[in-house]
């Protein structure tokens, strides 16, 4: 981190930390769950086969653990147009699960910025933006949370 970038980072932290995205609603469809499972090549009957899944304690198909990535919240699309770090990489993800996600569920995803910090990397100066997404189902239960680190460089 150079002294040149510090004020710019401080300004970013001030404007974005704590900021929440508008809620994004996703209706969970059985076909989408199955297509997702096929794309990740995960043949688990819980996310592929209703008849088999009914024999389990879940009583039917559920979504695979990372399925909620498909509920795409708006991130920081409103970053200033002159924001110098145009390129984007995913730095990592941390899930916590509370309730199964089932076909027919209506999931509301809200994304909140929790941290912004600079770091020098192999690809030059980088900015790490940490967000936490909360996925709430139609019963008001938090089904999962995901903390994600995106890297701008």
Partner 1 sequence: MGSYPYWEDVEEGTEVPSLVKHPTTRQLVRYAGVSGDFYEIHYDKDFAQSTGLPGVILHGALKSAFLAQLLTDWIGPQGTLRKLGCQYRGMDQPGAPLTCKGVVTKKYVANGEHLVDCEVWVEDEKGQKFTPGWATVVLPTRAG
List helix spans (H) across 17-144. Answer: 30-39, 50-54
* Per-residue contact string for residues 59-98; x = within reach of partner 1 by CB under 8 A: -----xxx--xx-x--------------xxxxxxxxxxx-
Can residue 41 be called a binding residue for partner 1 (CB under 8 A)?
yes
Tokens representing 135?
């996925």
Give the binding range for partner 1 (CB under 8 A) out of 12-20, 54-62, 102-110, 133-141: 54-62
Using CB under 8 A, pick the residue from 23, 30, 36, 117 that binds partner 1: 36
Q: Taking a C-beta distance cutoff of 8 angstroms, is the pair 46, 63 a contact?
A: no
Residue 33's φ and ψ, nearest 5 degrees, are -60, -45
Whichever of 54 and 106 has its CB closer to partner 1, that residue is: 54
List helix spans (H) across the chain. Answer: 6-16, 30-39, 50-54
Tokens representing 103?
């076909």
Which spans of this chain sit near partner 1 (rule: CB under 8 A)? 32, 35-36, 38-42, 44-46, 52, 56-58, 64-66, 69-70, 72, 87-97, 123, 147, 149
């Amino acid at each position: 981190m150079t002294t040149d970038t510090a004020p710019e980072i401080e300004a970013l932290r001030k404007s974005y930390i704590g900021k929440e995205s508008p809620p994004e609603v996703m209706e969970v469809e059985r076909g989408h769950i199955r297509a997702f499972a096929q794309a990740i090549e995960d043949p688990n009957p819980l996310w592929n086969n209703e008849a088999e899944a009914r024999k389990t304690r879940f009583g039917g198909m559920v979504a695979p653990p990372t399925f909620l990535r498909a509920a795409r919240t708006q991130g920081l699309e409103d970053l200033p147009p002159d924001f110098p770090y145009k390129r984007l990489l995913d730095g990592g993800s941390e899930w916590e699960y509370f309730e199964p996600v089932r076909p027919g569920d209506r999931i509301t995803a809200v994304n909140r910025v929790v941290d912004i910090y600079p770091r020098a990397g192999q690809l030059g100066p980088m900015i790490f933006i940490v967000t936490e997404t909360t996925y709430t189902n139609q019963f008001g239960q938090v089904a999962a949370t995901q903390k994600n680190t995106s890297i701008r460089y």
